[in-house]
Amino acid sequence: MNAEPELHILFTKKEIKATVGRLAAEISRDYRGKNPLLIGILKGSFLFLADLIRHLDFPLEVDFIRLSSYGKGKETLGKVKVVQGIKSSIQGREVLIIEDIVDTGLTTAFLIDYLRKKKPASLKLCTLTDKPSRRQVPVTIDYLGLTAPNKFLVGYGLDCDEKFRNLPEVYYLEEN
Ligand code: 5GP
Ligand code: MG
């Protein structure tokens, strides 16, 4: 029987706040006046997206897509599926994907391919965190928040079996 996993802090509220502010400034510089469509990948990106758009003081729209890559627990299944699609038409739109974490890259690579077929005017990726040491397929990240080590992260929207999303900081889990 495993003991309860321990939570170790990785990114503080202050670091997250500064990162969200920096990313919002970069996005504002590039998208002001373009009425972009921000597509959040559910569920993990919901807090990040909510905080980010409060810094964007120009017209934009928001939609969500739900993909499955991880099953229960922590290992990727390697196969990505659209569980809930977007409602908006993206043809000719400036589209910005908002992700919580790029890990193997399979999810974002799949989504970029899926959305590109719908002919947006532009398609870019913003992610709060990145685990580059885990990459299996190449992914171009246009707006990168924080680089994380090869650990399983929870908090600030990220879960482990649906728990810990409500933590205001990002932690890594360590089994004892
Ligand atoms: P990828 O397809 O790049 O391997 O993984 C992308 C998705 O897996 C992310 O959107 C995220 O939902 C989930 N994921 C990857 N690494 C972590 C992690 O460390 N913690 C949590 N909670 N989810 C992760
Ligand atoms: Mg996700």
Q: What is the pTM of this model?
A: 0.94
pLDDT tens-place string over residues 41-90? 999 999 999 999 999 999 999 999 999 875 555 555 678 889 998 988 99
- From the CB of 109, is ligand 1 less than 6 Å away? no
Atom of ligand 1 nearest to the CA of 154: 22
Identify the pLDDT of residue 79: 81
Measured in Å, residue 35 CA sits from the centre of ligand 1 at 28
**Catalytic site includes residue 103:** yes
Nearest residue (by CA) to ligand 1, atom 9, is: 101
45 touches ligand 1 (CB under 6 Å) = no
- Tell me the longest C-alpha to C-alpha distance in the chain: 56
> Angle at which helices 46-53 and 13-31 pack, to 10 degrees?
60
| Atom of ligand 1 lying closest to residue 100 CA | 10
Calculate how far, in angstroms, residue 54's C-alpha sits from the geometric centre of ligand 1.
Answer: 24
* Ligand lying closest to the C-alpha of residue 111: 1
Q: Which atom of ligand 1 is nearest to the CA of 152?
A: 19
Q: How far is the CA of 41 from the centre of ligand 2 (A)?
A: 6
Residue 10 has which token pair? 């990785």
pLDDT reported for residue 4? 76
Residue whose tokens read 């969200």:
20
Cα-based distances in Å from 94 to 7, 34, 39, 113? 38, 7, 11, 15
Q: Give the residues across from 11 on adjacent strands.
A: 170
Q: Which of 14-23, 65-74, 132-141 has the lowest mean pLDDT?
A: 65-74
For residue 101, the CA-to-ligand 1 centroid distance in Å is 6
State the pLDDT at residue 3: 67
